């Protein structure tokens, strides 16, 4: 059945493309390329399906399946219960296996072409989208269609109207923020998940969805060499949250409940939490949602002396001072791989402090935790044995497409006690009740995706050793970039690099930090406006810093080298000024 689709030819309309290649600039709402679908003059689709007029996407469906008329030559705009050529038209159904098969193949081809074109025709895909706000409203209709439109037309619009408004996170020249890592296995997992579409809020609602999640998170915990108490065989266990933000929220709620059971319900205003000033903003949001007073969120200062890791001494002092004032310290959020600079908080001493005061310690390892499946990076989570919870974003750097955020807790009942609900309509009887997990009680929402399927597929279709090597490749590419920066006296590497993020900048001239910040701001704006690469920025100790994060699955050494050349080229303006 798949052969019939291979004859669909996808034609790039080159005229617009050439225009862009020539001037290398991207206007707002430009249409860099167009993919054409259908055009199967060989009649391959039609014949193999018993459909005459084997043309394109929407039409093919209507002719072939929509109307039970094998010789039908009606057009794609015939739907509903009407008649074409005297034959009764089948009612359109939301799910039709033959339509799924046919259009699904077309969609897979479209996506595969997208990845191929990202690699082969980068000039057509400005990495940072160059459109202006509101561009889409100007080119889409004001209201939804009353009648079905063909997939062909829709994909045409995707090519012409949506893709120009995308920032291409999967481009090999994407080096901004942290990557959103994808893979064939992750994609297939998403596809299977979307196809099966089960909702495993309780064990009963879809036993395999629950049981596979328990097993796969045990597998992953073992790859990360997490302590046994995080495994489902102990008191703890893992759950896949949608995002890191959700993960930190549920553990703040669990920790809040735990402490309030001890100190009483009226003590909310005395509860205090700790993190470093580098901690992801999701922590503050989680605290606010959890009712923690904003003024009780202590963000401890960091600087270059600890490479922006949280100093344990500051934590100890803050806790002592708060206790002396009658506050109740109950939560520490430590980070392994901060968002700004991939700094690492020292888990071992922080965990010891947490343990000695009975404070919940959460480890946010959203990005860098993934690297800890490699033995050479595992040391960065040494001390995790004293944490109460640990989170990584497998969609950041474990090739499990958006979204997939495994969270492990030491004591699953602390989470369940805080979040469980027992409506009658979800009750059920089951043997071995104590072995049954109901993931609705481990998260905010009731409905949940079968995300473990994707993670299972990633782990099985690559195997741990390949995953380790993918990560090592990214780290080596970052090292290559770092070497380039270090060899150019006009630039400086700003922080010690541990993983695949390089923090760097044009170096200040005569110690003028303000001018240096302005120049780096101008440099990044210029570089990103080329559309050839996308890097992002942060601020550390008042310095404007450029971030070069490797993690897109198509990135190779040549892309990194080219990125560096682009940055160097656009920096000559400032370097020239330096000589003057
Ligand atoms: C260290 C860290 N924690 C948490 C998050 C938030 O993760 P998510 O976007 O999955 O909510 C990020 C995102 O970049 C992050 O870098």
Calculate how far, in angstroms, residue 8's C-alpha sits from the geometric centre of ligand 1. Answer: 40
| CATH classification at residue 223 | 3.40.640.10
Q: Give long-range contacts, CB 8 A cutoff, 24+ apart: 560-566.
A: 560/477, 560/480, 560/481, 561/480, 561/484, 562/173, 562/532, 562/533, 563/173, 563/175, 563/481, 563/532, 563/533, 563/535, 564/481, 564/484, 564/485, 566/527, 566/530, 566/532, 566/533
Atom of ligand 1 nearest to the CA of 246: 11
Question: What is the bridge-based pairing of β-strands 35-36 and 237-241?
Answer: unpaired
User: Residue 89: which pLDDT band, with cuts at 50, 70 and 90?
Assistant: confident
Rg (CA), the chain: 27
Task: Determine the angle formed by the axes of helices 451-487 and 557-579, rounding to 10 degrees.
Answer: 40
Residue 340 domain flag = yes
Structure tokens at 162: 């949506």
Predicted pLDDT at 129: 97
Residue 555 domain flag = no
Q: Minimal CA–CA distance to 364: which of 174, 552, 550, 178?
A: 178
Residue 318 domain flag = yes
Q: What is the pLDDT of residues 246-272, one digit of tens each?
A: 999 999 999 999 999 999 999 999 999
Instruction: For ligand 1, pick from 247, 281, 282 the residue to mutate: most ligand atoms within 8 Å of CB.
Output: 282
Buried b / exposed e over 463-477, threshold 16 CB at 10 Å, is eeeebbebbebbbeb
Q: How many domains does the structure of the chain reveal?
A: 1
Distance CA 232, CA 412 (A): 9
Predicted pLDDT at 275: 98
Predicted pLDDT at 87: 65
Calculate how far, in angstroms, residue 499's C-alpha sits from the geometric centre of ligand 1. Answer: 16
**Overall average pLDDT of the 61-69 stretch:** 35
User: Residue 575: which pLDDT band, with cuts at 50, 70 and 90?
Assistant: confident
**Overall average pLDDT of the 106-113 stretch:** 98
Structure tokens at 546: 């450029």
User: Residue 33: which pLDDT band, with cuts at 50, 70 and 90?
Assistant: very low
Calculate how far, in angstroms, residue 388's C-alpha sits from the geometric centre of ligand 1. Answer: 19
Calculate how far, in angstroms, residue 297's C-alpha sits from the geometric centre of ligand 1. Answer: 19
Calculate how far, in angstroms, residue 185's C-alpha sits from the geometric centre of ligand 1. Answer: 22
Residue 468 in this model has a pLDDT that exceeds 70: yes
Instruction: For ligand 1, pick from 169, 179, 241, 244 the residue to mutate: most ligand atoms within 8 Å of CB.
Output: 244
| Pocket of ligand 1 contains residue 276 by CB under 6 Å | no
Buried b / exposed e over 167-206, threshold 16 CB at 10 Å, is bbbbbbbbbbbbbbbbbbbbbbbbbebeeeeeebbbbebb
Provide the residue range defining the domain that includes 369.
186-462
| Pocket of ligand 1 contains residue 364 by CB under 6 Å | yes
Calculate how far, in angstroms, residue 75's C-alpha sits from the geometric centre of ligand 1. Answer: 48
Task: Determine the angle formed by the axes of helices 513-529 and 557-579, rounding to 10 degrees.
Answer: 140
**Overall average pLDDT of the 220-248 stretch:** 97
Instruction: For ligand 1, pick from 337, 366, 443 the residue to mutate: most ligand atoms within 8 Å of CB.
Output: 366
Atom of ligand 1 nearest to the CA of 279: 1
Task: Determine the angle formed by the axes of helices 282-289 and 244-263, rounding to 10 degrees.
Answer: 40
How long is the chain?
A: 580
> What integer best gives the mean pLDDT of the chain?
88
Which residue CA neighbors atom 4 of ligand 1 most closely? 244
Range from 20-29, 91-100, 139-148, 226-235 carrying the lowest mean pLDDT: 20-29
Residue 336 phi/psi, 5° resolution? -115, 100
Predicted pLDDT at 578: 52
Residue 446 domain flag = yes
Calculate how far, in angstroms, residue 347's C-alpha sits from the geometric centre of ligand 1. Answer: 18
Which residue CA neighbors atom 7 of ligand 1 most closely? 244
Is residue 543 within 8 Å of residue 514, measured between CB atoms?
Answer: no
Residue 263 domain flag = yes
Residue 295 domain flag = yes
Residue 58 domain flag = no
Atom of ligand 1 nearest to the CA of 178: 14
Residue 49 in this model has a pLDDT that exceeds 60: no
Q: What is the pLDDT of residues 207-224, one digit of tens each?
A: 999 999 999 999 999 999
Predicted pLDDT at 432: 83
Which residue CA neighbors atom 5 of ligand 1 most closely? 244
User: Residue 84: which pLDDT band, with cuts at 50, 70 and 90?
Assistant: low
Calculate how far, in angstroms, residue 170's C-alpha sits from the geometric centre of ligand 1. Answer: 18
| Pocket of ligand 1 contains residue 366 by CB under 6 Å | yes
Distance CA 129, CA 566 (A): 18
Calculate how far, in angstroms, residue 291's C-alpha sits from the geometric centre of ligand 1. Answer: 21
Q: Minimal CA–CA distance to 60: which of 198, 169, 189, 152?
A: 152
| Pocket of ligand 1 contains residue 178 by CB under 6 Å | yes
Q: How many CA atoms lie within 13 A of 92 on its CB side?
A: 15
| Pocket of ligand 1 contains residue 405 by CB under 6 Å | yes
Predicted pLDDT at 73: 36
Other CB atoms within 10 Å distance of the CB of residue 93: 10
| Pocket of ligand 1 contains residue 243 by CB under 6 Å | yes
Atom of ligand 1 nearest to the CA of 335: 1
Residue 492 domain flag = no
Q: Concatenated DSSP letters for 349-398?
A: HHHHHHHHHT-EEEEE-TTGGGGGGSTTTGGGGTTGGG-SEEE--HHHHS
Percent of the chain with pLDDT strictly greater than 70: 84
């Amino acid at each position: 059945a798949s052969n019939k689709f291979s004859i669909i030819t996808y034609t790039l309309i080159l005229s617009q493309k050439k225009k862009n290649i020539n001037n290398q600039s991207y206007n707002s709402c430009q249409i860099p390329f167009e993919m054409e679908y259908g055009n199967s003059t060989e009649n391959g689709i039609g014949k193999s399906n018993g459909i005459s007029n084997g043309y394109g996407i929407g039409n093919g469906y209507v002719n072939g399946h929509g109307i039970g008329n094998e010789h039908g030559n009606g057009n794609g705009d015939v739907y509903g219960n009407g008649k074409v050529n005297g034959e009764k038209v089948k009612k359109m159904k939301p799910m039709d296996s033959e339509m799924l098969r046919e259009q699904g193949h077309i969609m897979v081809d479209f996506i595969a072409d997208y990845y191929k074109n990202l690699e082969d025709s980068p000039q057509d895909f400005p990495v940072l989208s160059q459109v202006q706000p509101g561009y889409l409203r100007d080119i889409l209709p004001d209201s939804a269609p009353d009648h079905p439109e063909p997939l062909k037309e829709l994909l045409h619009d995707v090519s012409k109207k949506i893709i120009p408004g995308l920032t291409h996170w999967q481009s090999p020249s994407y080096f901004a923020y942290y990557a959103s890592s994808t893979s064939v296995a992750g994609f297939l997992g998403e596809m299977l998940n979307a196809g099966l579409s089960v909702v495993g809020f309780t064990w009963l609602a879809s036993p395999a969805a629950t049981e596979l999640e328990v097993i796969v998170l045990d597998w992953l915990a073992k790859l990360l060499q997490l302590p046994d108490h995080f495994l489902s065989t102990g008191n703890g266990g893992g759950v896949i949250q949608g995002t890191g933000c959700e993960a930190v929220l549920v553990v703040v709620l669990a920790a809040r409940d735990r402490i309030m059971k001890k100190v009483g319900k009226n003590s909310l205003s005395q509860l205090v939490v700790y993190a470093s000033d580098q901690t992801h903003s999701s922590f503050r949001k989680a605290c606010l949602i959890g009712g923690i007073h904003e003024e009780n969120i202590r963000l401890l200062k960091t600087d270059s002396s600890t490479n922006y890791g949280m100093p344990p001494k500051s934590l100890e002092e803050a806790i002592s001072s708060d206790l002396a004032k009658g506050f109740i310290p109950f939560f520490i959020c430590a980070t392994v791989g901060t968002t700004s600079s991939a700094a690492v908080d020292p888990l071992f001493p922080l965990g010891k402090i947490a343990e000695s005061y009975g404070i919940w310690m959460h480890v946010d390892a959203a990005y860098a935790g993934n690297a800890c499946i490699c033995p050479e990076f595992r040391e960065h989570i040494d001390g995790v044995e004293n944490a109460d919870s640990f989170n990584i974003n497998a969609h950041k750097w474990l090739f499990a497409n958006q979204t997939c955020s495994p969270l492990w807790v030491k004591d699953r009942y602390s989470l369940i006690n805080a979040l469980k609900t027992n409506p009658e309509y979800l009750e059920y009887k089951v043997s071995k009740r104590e072995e049954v997990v109901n993931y609705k009680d481990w998260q905010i929402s009731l409905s949940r995706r079968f995300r473990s399927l994707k993670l299972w597929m990633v782990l099985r279709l690559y195997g741990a050793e390949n995953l380790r090597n993918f990560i090592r490749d990214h780290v080596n590419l970052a090292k290559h970039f770092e070497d380039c920066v270090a060899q150019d006296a006009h630039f400086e590497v700003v922080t010690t690099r541990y993983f695949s993020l390089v923090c760097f900048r044009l170096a200040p001239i005569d110690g003028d930090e303000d001018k240096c910040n302005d120049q780096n701001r101008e440099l990044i704006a210029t570089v990103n406006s080329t559309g050839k690469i996308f890097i992002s920025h942060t601020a550390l100790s008042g310095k404007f810093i450029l971030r070069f994060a490797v993690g897109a699955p198509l990135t190779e050494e040549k892309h990194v080298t080219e990125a560096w050349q682009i940055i160097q080229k656009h920096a000559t303006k400032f370097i020239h000024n330096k000589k003057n």
